[in-house]
Amino acid sequence: MARLAVLWRRPSLAFGLAVIALVVLAALLAPLLAPYAPDNQMFDGLSLEGSPLPPSAQFPLGTDTLGRDLLSRLLFGARTSLVIGLVANGTAVLIGLVVGILAGYFSGLVGNLLMRFTDLMMAFPALLLAIVLAALLRPSLWIVALVIALVNWVQVARIAYTETRGLVERDFILAERALGAGHGRILLRHIAPHLVPTAIVWGTLGIATTVLLEATLSFLGIGVQPPQPSWGNIIFESQSYFQSAPWLVFFPGALILLTALAFNLVGDALRDLLDPTQRGRG
């Protein structure tokens, strides 16, 4: 409890939690907060020359190249980014834990095959692999989440493997085996619970990476496809207007930066709290 109180007094943790709470609330309440529909192309949303409008009382964050309200699109885009961040990263953590635990527990051929496959996946640059997979598949919200999960599980698998190898030689595991416990009982009752802190920390830290990767794929045009808004494809659609309408790039870019920073700050705090090497100090 003392350590938890110390963490709550951290300004960085408070800032991260506040930003995450605001983003989540904005995503959940987007239909109520958005002044317009995200795909509503308004005739008064463009200047007489056909250019996007800057921020004003009618359009607080301006309009985009098609006369759509940027604030509305950012609010609904938060839903896309968060769904992909949570689903893709949750799937990646689950895959990584399963592969790492099985490879660490079953030594020999099974463990070697799983870890060599993990090494093979780590050899490919994550962004390049994601681009290839996204190009081969039809981009959509769930396909992008699947692609990101398939390239982000390897780090979790490595850590889970290392921790599992240390656990299988512990006395309580050897005692369970001596008592005749099966593999399923040992894995589910004694090994998996010890990896929960690792899953929580990596689950939090990985969301930031996932949000950035989704934004990168959408910026390259192979992520979530318009008219469904995401922060990445909003920048992609507006990149040619960077000088004449900088708000179209600045606002979504700032949201991506703040969200990634917030999840990293919370993840670092959770790592300090759950790190077993820190317990009993202070």
pLDDT of residue 25: 94
Does the pLDDT at position 277 exceed 60? no
pLDDT in tens, 8-26: 667 788 888 899 999 999 9
The conformation of residue 54, written as its DSSP 8-state character, comes to P
Whole-model pTM above 0.95? no
The conformation of residue 241, written as its DSSP 8-state character, comes to G
Beta strands in 129-220 (DSSP E): none
Query: How many C-beta neighbours within 10 Å does residue 73 have?
Result: 31
Tokens 């300004």, located at residue: 11
High-pLDDT (> 70) share of the chain, %: 93
Does the pLDDT at position 281 exceed 50? no
Contact 44, 194 (CB under 8 A): no
Give the start-to-end residue ranges of the domains of the chain.
Answer: 70-278
Tell me how many degrees the CA angle 192-194-197 measures, rounded to the nearest 5. Answer: 105
Instruction: Please state at what angle helix 196-219 crosses helix 126-136, rounded to 10 degrees.
Output: 60
The conformation of residue 187, written as its DSSP 8-state character, comes to I
Does the pLDDT at position 80 exceed 70? yes
pLDDT in tens, 105-160: 887 788 889 888 888 888 877 778 777 877 777 777 788 888 888 888 888 899 89
Look at 75 and 85; give whichever has higher pLDDT. 75
pLDDT of residue 227: 77
Confidence of residue 1 (pLDDT cuts 50, 70, 90): low
The conformation of residue 48, written as its DSSP 8-state character, comes to T
pLDDT in tens, 180-212: 767 777 788 778 888 888 888 888 888 888 888
Q: What are the beta bridge partners of residue 52?
A: 46
High-pLDDT (> 90) share of the chain, %: 13
SS3 52: strand
Pair of tokens at residue 253? 């870019």
Confidence of residue 96 (pLDDT cuts 50, 70, 90): very high
Q: How confident is the model over 54-60, as a mean pLDDT?
A: 88
Instruction: Please state at what angle helix 70-105 crosses helix 11-28, rounded to 10 degrees.
Output: 120
Does the pLDDT at position 40 exceed 70? yes
Contact 141, 83 (CB under 8 A): yes
Burial (CB count <10 Å: 0-12, 13-18, 19+), residue 130: buried
pLDDT of residue 33: 92
Tokens 């527990």, located at residue: 105
* CATH code of domain 70-278: 1.10.3720.10
Pair of tokens at residue 153? 């599980």
Q: Average per-residue pLDDT in the chain? A: 82
Does the pLDDT at position 95 exceed 80? yes
Look at 245 and 2; give whichever has higher pLDDT. 245
Does the pLDDT at position 178 exceed 80? no
pLDDT in tens, 223-247: 777 778 888 888 888 888 888 888 8
Terminal CA-CA length for the chain: 11
SS3 236: helix
